[in-house]
Chains A and B, each alone.
Chain A
């Protein structure tokens, strides 16, 4: 069965460093999402991406965040200058419809 994959599974970085989280959505899916979950807290929406552009973003998704679909298969989330509070599990999701149906396994980001 097709699945969403994410790399790396765990990323440790120092405060102020840039990180890129990578996702390979299921092929032929049209809608892509990034969500995050701080340990012990709820899942939070970051951004949605459709037709090669951002379709919606949350207040969390400020100028430090960006997304790209550089080659038609990968979908990346970049955090330019990480903060301690960016430590969380980051989930990529993809779908054929406007429902985040398939989540990847997540990347655990630890900012020290």
Chain B
């Protein structure tokens, strides 16, 4: 069974701090890695994706990938209360299907 694991949280950070969200995956054949944000009762929104080892930055978001450790993370700089949501890590192998984790709930407190 191919697993994508995330700490369910909630992860609580003060406004302006860096939020660090982590994800591990079991399938070494995984090729691409995604972070989605899901507000309660809403659909997932793609934040960013990463294919290669290292860091990828997009605005306040940085995705980090370490394939050797089978680990992907998302950093959110200058966290805002509007960032409070569930963050879903998703992993794709060679096909079309994304395998999602259960998500980490983030709470940014003013």
Residues of A within 8 A of B (CB): 31, 33, 35, 41-45, 48, 50, 55-56, 58, 91, 98-106
Contacts and interface: CB of A to CB of B under 8 A. Distances in A.
Interface in B86-110: 88, 90, 95-103
Nearest to A103: B43
B42 interface: yes
Given A99-B34, A99-B49, A43 B44 contact: yes
B45 interface: yes
B46 interface: yes
B100 A103 contact: no
B96 A48 contact: yes
A48 B101 contact: no
A101 B96 contact: no
A42 B103 contact: yes
Contact of B100 (A31, A44, A55, A104): A44
Nearest to A54: B96
25 contacts: A33-B96, A35-B98, A41-B102, A42-B88, A42-B100, A42-B101, A42-B103, A43-B88, A43-B90, A43-B98, A44-B100, A45-B97, A45-B98, A48-B95, A48-B96, A48-B97, A55-B96, A56-B96, A58-B97, A91-B44, A99-B32, A100-B98, A102-B46, A103-B43, A103-B45
Given A42-B88, A43-B90, A56-B95, 12 more contacts: A35-B98, A42-B100, A42-B102, A43-B88, A43-B100, A45-B99, A48-B97, A55-B96, A98-B96, A99-B34, A102-B46, A105-B43
Interface of B: 32, 34, 42-46, 49, 88, 90, 95-103
Contacts of B46: 99-102
Interface centre among B32, B42, B49, B100 (most CB of A within 10 A): B100
Contacts of B42: 105
Nearest to B95: A56
Contacts of B97: 45, 48, 56, 58
A48 B98 CA distance: 10
